[in-house]
Each structure stands twice: as C-alpha cells, then as structure tokens.
A and B are shown apart, each in its own frame.
Chain A
Amino acid sequence: MAIATAGHIGVASHHDHIHPEPQSFIGKYIFSIDAKVIGIQYMVVGLLFFIVSGLLAEIVRAQLLTPTGAIVSNDTYNGVYSLHASGMIWMTIIPLVTGGFGNYVMPLMLGQRDVAFPWLNLVAFWMFPVAGVLLFGSFLVGAPDAGWTEYPPISLQGPPGTSLWCVAIFLVGISSSLTGINFLVTIFKMRAPGMTFTRMPLFVWAQMATAMLNMIATTALAAALAALFLERQFDIPFYDPGRGGSPVLWQHMFWFYSHPAVYIMILPAFGIVSEVFATFSRKPIFGYKMIAFSSIAIALLGFMVWAHHMFTSGMAPWLQLPFMILTMVVAVPTGVKIFSWLATLWGGKIEFHPAMLFSLGFLIVFTFGGITGVFLSSVPADLYFHGTYFVVAHIHYVLFGGSIFGIYAGVYYWWPKMTGRMMSYKLGVAHFWATFVAFNITFLPMHWVGLQGMPRRVAQYRPEFQFWNDVESIGSFILAGSTLIFLYAIAESMLKGKKAPANPWGARTLEWQVSSPPPYYNFKKIPAVLTNPYDFGEPLPYVGLVRDASNPEHPSTGRASSGTPAHA
C-alpha cells in the first residue's frame, strides 16, 4: 500500500480508498454504482424511449395529412399524442439532461470520483426504465387519452391506462427527485479543493438549479398524481366537481410542478451550450457570473409563474396580472444568457463542429420559441392562443429546438469522452442541417395555422388547413429521416470510429484532462482548482493532475498534443 509523498505528487497511491471496480458483467454494466455507467444507461434507455415517442409523433403527423385523417381511430389518436408528449417529456428529455449528462459529466467536472450517494443513484436509475415500460405498456389496456396534462374530469373517465400513466409518472418523478437530492449534495459537498462556487463549470451551475427544481417541484406532482390515482381507483373525491372536488385544483397542483419542469428540461441544455460556445469560440465565456446566477434566477422565478397556464380556467383578473408580469420577467435572466452567449461568440475563433452547429441552431430557434413564450404570457393574447396550434409550435420550439438541440450538442461534444471514439464530422454536419431545416418546416407553419384557429389535439380539421398540415407532416418525415443519420453516425463511430484522444477539442474543464473514456476512478489524484475553466490562452488552472500518455497536455493551449480535430 503506497502512500503519496510530497516528492511524488503525481503517483497514484490511494487505490485502497476507492471503491473497487466490479468485474462481473452485471456489476459492471447492469447494476453499476459508477455514475459514468449510470449516465450512459440513462442515455441508452432515453434514446430508446426517444425513438418510440418520435414514432408516435409520426403517427400523429400521418393522421393529419388529410382533414379526415383515417390512419388511426379517434380514440387511438388521443392515446398516441398523449403518450408522445408524456414519453418525450418524462422518459426522454428529463432523464437525458439530468440523469444522463448530469451523472456522466458532473462528477468529472467537479473533479470527483462519483456522486454523493452512488447506491441511491442506482435505485433512481432503475425506476426510470420500469416507469417507461409502464407508460408505453398502457397501450395494452387503453392508453391515457386526455393529453400529457391529463386534466380531470376527462382523465377521471379515461381508460384504465390512465392509472398506469399515474404510476409511471409517479415513479419517474421520485427518480428525478432522488437524483436532484443526490446532485445537490454532490455539488455542495464534493467539489475538488479550490473549486469555489464561482469556479464551477457553467454546466454544473445549470445542474444545481435543475436539481433544486427537481427536488422541490417533483414531490408536488407526486401528490397530484397520487390523488388522481386514488380518485380513479378508490373513488376518493379530489377533482370531480360533481362531488365537491375541483378540476382546477389538479391544474394548480399539476402546473406547480410542470412549469418548473419546463426549466428542468431547458436549464441543463443552457449548461451544455455554455460549455460548447466557450470551447468552440476559443474565448473566455462572457459574463460567467451572469450566466451562472441567471440559472438560479430562472429556477426561483419558475416557482412563481405556474398559473399562466390557467388564464382560461376562470381565474380572478387581479390574480392574472402578477402571473403575467412574473412570466414576462423570466425573459430577463434568459435574455442575459442569450446576450452573454452572443458576446462569447463575438470575435471568437469559431469552429463549426456539429456540437457548435447544434448550439448555434439552439440559439436561433430557442430565442424564437422564447419570444412566442412572451406572447403567450400576455393574458389578452393567451385567451386567443390558448388550445391552438400556436401553443404546439411554441412548445416544440423550446423543447425540441431548446432541449433536444442541446442534447444533440451534448452528445456530439461528449461522445469521444464517453466512448473513447470519435464521431464522423461529416455525418454530424449533415445531421444538423437536415434536422434544422426539417424542424423549421415542421413547426414554423404551426404558428400561423394556430393563429388561424386550428385547435390542438384534434384528429380531424377544417379542409382549409390541409396545405400547411401537409407541409408540417412532410417536414416531420424528413425530421425522422434526419434522426436516422444520427443513429447511423452512432453506429459507425462505435464500429469503426477513430480512437479519441483525451482532449480532442482543447476544452479546459476537468473531464477533458483525463483519458477518453476516463478510468473507473476518474482521477488518480483529485486536482486542485485555481480559477474558473474558461480562460482560453492561459495555462490550465489545475494543480496535481496526473498526466501520462493517455491524457497529455499541450503546454500553452491545453489542447491535447496527440489530439487532432476530427475533421482534419
């Protein structure tokens, strides 16, 4: 048992303190407590559910090719769009951005070996696939048909699958609540020496704000879901207006969670693009503290705006005003971020890597979606927009254009780190352009179709909307095709991708200072941190990193000396 001495700082010596690496297949890949493995597990399962939910969306678009759409029955159609949204939100985006990227990247960025409670992490992960199977399995007994919001009284009369939906979302909610607690303790108590809060990477700041939301808001959803389940299964009145209950009570409890959930989905994406912008502009990030603190501001404001989803639910006018104003205020910290990113790009040495392309695409479409969000927060406008395709357009601009573009950017950015292999640069660029163009063909016309009065969640519509609905449907088929490029790029990289160097992009955060993929214990010795990681052009701000042939360092730029850009 070797002990590090002052003269041999770099020598690994503390193996006896690191929990030993499991050797069996099950311990290593199935029931692993290593946050990196759990992160990849989240991603694999999340990708599966992403494909299923995406196929459901294609059924919706196929149905809407003709005004009398006869692909599926009306009842099935209701189930299809309800599960499309539920699957995308709870089984894809939230697990990917928190459990997936959070678990893989965050402990590495903090210079740590794992999250605070690895066993809790394992438990939280395994609730997620079980929940997903329950959710999509509800098709077998009659899928929930009241949309992803499941408003009573429709959800009280819904098919048996609605109760399964309650259980599935409850489970995945507990999972993200536990993950939130785990991440908060990790961030508060397990940073590398010298890593003060204002030296943390921006992705970690975003995860911190997200974890707060997850920990607090998700239990409110659990309460609402349990009450709906009790009312459906045991006849306990909460929401049935005929028995003294109130459907609006569900809306309050549901949106108290589900509005923060929008920020749960978008804040980690903000964190991802912050990392990507800094790295591929090769410039210190502009307004580090502003980007960091605005995440917390968005999280706090997120708890005070839920009733803007309920302007048409018979709310007192004096109550609408504060919710409207607070909702508009959310645009301020979001705008701070957007202008900070623009200033980071300004004058930078921009490299149009696929991760950067998706981040730039994110900047454009998310800003667009954010602005329609301000439209929707205005009470008089909302009374008109409510329940139309304009809302559908808005939600897809912020969730697809925001969260999913952010996830794509994160995959292209961290793929070499996670797998140890490079991804095709050309396929990535093709994927981006196909996705970006198809995305806009699909969702842009929804704005004016909605303004002209086409309601959401309908299986048939007035014939005059057919042209733009056909455009949207064709766009969505191209969008599905663009996802095939992505899947092909993944397969190609895994089968014959070039071996990735430790730091292919010359990034400065800690996860790039260890080999790709990182060893089980992440860091042979926990490094000390001197400043925030975005000072491009300065020496790396870490002391005590163990360097060897697997993770060499270029003396001046921090760019790995053996690493060459993938497209070179």
Chain B
Amino acid sequence: MAVTSFSSLNTSHEAVHARYESVDSLYRETRDMRLLGFVLFLISDVVLFSAYIFAYLYLRNSVPNWPPINKDGHQLPRFDVAFAAINSCVLFGSGATMHFAMESWKHLKKPAFNMWMIATIVLGVLFLGGQAYEYHNAQVTWSGSTLGATFFTLTGLHGFHVFVGVIYLAVLYWQANKGVYTGSKYFGLTAGTLYWHFVDVIWVALFYLFYLM
C-alpha cells in the first residue's frame, strides 16, 4: 500500500504540493530541450572551427611573409577574390531563401515554402560546385604549405558542413511534404534553419581570413 511522505509536514508544504501536483514532469523530449541541445552542439562546433582558425592565424604569424613559399620553392599567389566572392553570394543568397522558406512555413504558405526550400538546396549545391571548381584550379596543394593545409582543412570542414546541410534540408523538405510538421510544431525546420545560418556565418569568417585578410 502506498503511503505519502508529507503527512507530518505543515500546511505550507501541502500548498506547494497542490501547486506541483499537476506538473508531474515525466520524461519526454520537449522542443525546449531539443533547441538547447542543438544550440549547445552548434557552440561546440564553433569551437572546432575556432581551433582551426587559431591554427591558421598562428601559422600565418609565425612566418615573415604570407602567402608562404611552397615546398617546391615558388612563391604562392593570393587567392582569387572575384570567383570566391560570387560563390559567397550564392551561399549568402541561400541563407536568404532559407529565411523566406521558414517565414512561408510560419504563415502556412506551403507552395512558397516548397519553392524557397528547393531554391536553398539548389544554391547549396551550386556553392559546393563552386568549391569543387575552386579546389580543382587551386595553385596550392594540401601538403605543399601551411597555407594549403589550413585552407583545405578549414574550407573542407566547412564544405562538409554544407554537404551535410544540403542532405539535411532535402530530408526536411521530404518530411514537410509527408506531413511530419504542422503550423505550430516544426522543430526540425527551426533546427535546419539555425544550422544553415550557422554555416553561412562561418563562411563569412573564412572568406575574410583566406581572401581579404
């Protein structure tokens, strides 16, 4: 037979109990928890990028001239800003379309949502194509210099994030059209948006570090 523990306590305890009686917080994954968990994950991801950015700046400052000399002895050129700027605009544009997709979803405009999502995915793929083109024509190699090492590591890590993001967005698109999300419950879409903007912001830093600085 179950007994309660508060029979000997005074009446203010009774009052507190009455207040919490209906709050029996059974285990369930709430939106709050998922959002916090996802944001914490992004923070630790920021640390990952920051560590390599630190490595880049550290190596850059430890030699007298930048760009450094390649292992075969020739002076490495600066990266071509023009193409990377266009490619950056593609990625930033995808950030804007993602924003519109999310707004459309919130305003229950399903066709607009679909259109903006497809635009985002296409722009993401275009950006990856641009990166591939850039890698193909790069005058640095990953083993030739510290510039090559940090460039390919950082942009490769970022490109991997974009690649995962494109797949993630495609899954979200498929789920949204399967009816997984509703007008009030759409955490997956929120997380996807957050992730995509995060990838955008990281690119701002990388673009500055490798092309402008």
Residues of A whose CB lies within 8 Å of any CB of B are 4, 6, 9-12, 14, 17-19, 112-114, 116-117, 177, 180-182, 184-185, 188-190, 192-194, 215-220, 222-224, 227, 230-231, 234-238, 243-246, 249, 252-253, 256, 513, 524-526, 528, 530, 539-540, 542-548, 553, 555
Contact = CB atoms under 8 A, between A and B. Distances in A.
B44 A4 contact: no
Interface stretch (B51-59, B105-113, B124-132): B51-59
23 contacts: A177-B44, A184-B36, A194-B16, A223-B47, A223-B55, A224-B51, A227-B55, A227-B153, A236-B148, A236-B152, A237-B145, A243-B146, A245-B146, A246-B58, A528-B23, A530-B13, A540-B5, A542-B5, A543-B17, A543-B20, A544-B20, A548-B1, A553-B5
A238 B48 contact: no
A223 B153 CA distance: 10
B37 A236 contact: no
A553 B43 CA distance: 44
Contacts of A180: 44
A315 to B, nearest CB: 13
A246 to B, nearest CB: 5
A401 B167 CA distance: 49
Nearest to A241: B62
B33 A189 contact: yes
Name B's interface SS: helix
A116 B51 contact: no
Contacts of A10: 2-4
B6 to A, nearest CB: 5
Given A220-B47, A528-B20, A234 B142 contact: yes
Closest 6 CB pairs of A and B: A223-B51, A528-B20, A10-B2, A193-B20, A543-B17, A17-B26
Contacts of A218: 44
B2 A216 contact: no
A243 B73 CA distance: 11
A249 B59 contact: yes
A184 B54 CA distance: 27
Contact of A526 (B13, B24, B29, B148): B24
Given A6-B21, A224-B51, A252-B54, A238 B33 contact: no
A548 B27 contact: no
Contacts of B24: 4, 14, 525-526
Contacts of A11: 2
A194 B18 CA distance: 12
Given A10-B4, A224-B51, A252-B54, A185 B146 contact: no
Interface in B1-42: 1-6, 8-9, 13, 16-21, 23-30, 32-33, 36-37, 40-41
Interface in B45-101: 45, 47-48, 50-52, 54-55, 58-59, 62-63, 68, 71
B201 interface: no
A181 B23 contact: no
B182 interface: no
B143 interface: yes
B180 interface: no
A553 B7 CA distance: 12
B209 interface: no
Contacts, number: 176
Contacts of A545: 4-5
B47 A219 contact: yes
Contacts of B17: 9, 528, 543-544
Contact of A246 (B16, B59, B145): B59
Nearest to B152: A236
Contacts of B145: 237, 243-244
Nearest to A12: B2
B171 interface: no
A244 B63 contact: yes
A202 B136 CA distance: 56
Nearest to B55: A249
A261 to B, nearest CB: 14
Given A219-B45, A530-B13, A544-B4, 12 more contacts: A194-B16, A194-B20, A216-B44, A222-B48, A243-B145, A244-B145, A244-B146, A245-B59, A249-B59, A526-B24, A540-B5, A545-B5
B51 A555 contact: no
Contact of A256 (B1, B23, B51): B51
Contacts of B36: 184-185, 188-189
B27 A113 contact: yes
A189 B33 CA distance: 6
A245 B58 CA distance: 9
B37 A530 contact: no
Contacts of B71: 243
A543 B16 contact: yes
Contact of A543 (B5, B37, B52): B5
B32 to A, nearest CB: 6
A519 to B, nearest CB: 13
B122 interface: no
B4 A9 contact: yes
B145 to A, nearest CB: 6
Contacts of B40: 181, 184-185, 215
Contacts of A244: 59, 62-63, 68, 145-146
A112 B30 CA distance: 14
Given A11-B2, A193-B25, A185 B20 contact: no
A542 to B, nearest CB: 7
A101 B32 CA distance: 26
B6 A544 contact: yes
A222 B13 CA distance: 49
Nearest to B49: A223
Given A235-B143, A546-B2, A219 B51 contact: yes
B4 A547 contact: yes
Contact of A230 (B4, B50, B153): B153
B138 interface: no
Nearest to A558: B5
B205 interface: no
Contacts of B204: none
Nearest to A112: B27
A324 to B, nearest CB: 21
A193 B16 CA distance: 10
Contact of A528 (B16, B37, B148): B16
B4 A19 contact: no
Contacts of B59: 238, 244-246, 249
Given A181-B41, A238-B149, A223 B28 contact: no
B47 A113 contact: no
B44 A543 contact: no
